[in-house]
């Protein structure tokens, strides 16, 4: 279940307002493996390719969040995220993610579920 599907319309509006809407051209990297966690993105439209050691391991799309695991777990990024198509995303700083986790319990719970799924817990 995508992050968007786990939030009410009011919660989603609060989350989106905490970020900055950005368009990203196909082929651009949003984040790189083994770098510090300083941002996350909510995909509004388009697809991202998740790569580990240069190999694509997953594709994510509208409603999905990327970059959250390294922020939540306080560790380096585990993958590179590349725009597989042109993207419309909401960019969040790590401070915005932390603030949203405090202000929107459903957001914190949705991130925790997403992180657990991605880490295989």
What pLDDT is attached to residue 27? 97
Domain segments of the chain: what residues? 4-116
| 83 vs 108 pLDDT, higher one | 83
Q: Which residues pair with 89 in a beta bridge?
A: 22, 43
Reported as a single tens digit per residue, the pLDDT across 86-95 is: 999 999 999 9
- Report the C-alpha dihedral over residues 85, 98, 33, 49, rounded to 10 degrees: -20
Average pLDDT for 75-89:
96
96 by DSSP, 3-state: which? helix
CATH class given for the domain over 4-116? mainly beta
What pLDDT is attached to residue 61? 95
């Amino acid at each position: 279940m995508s992050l968007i599907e786990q939030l009410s319309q009011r919660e989603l509006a609060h989350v989106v307002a905490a970020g900055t809407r950005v368009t990203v051209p196909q082929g651009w990297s949003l984040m790189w493996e083994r770098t510090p966690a300083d941002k996350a993105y909510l995909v509004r439209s388009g697809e991202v390719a998740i790569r580990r050691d240069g190999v694509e391991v997953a594709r994510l799309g509208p409603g999905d969040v990327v970059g959250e695991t390294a922020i939540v777990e306080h560790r380096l990024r585990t993958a590179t995220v590349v725009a597989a198509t042109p993207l419309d995303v909401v960019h969040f700083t790590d401070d915005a993610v932390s603030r949203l986790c405090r202000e929107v319990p459903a957001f914190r719970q949705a991130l925790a579920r997403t992180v657990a799924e991605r880490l295989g817990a």
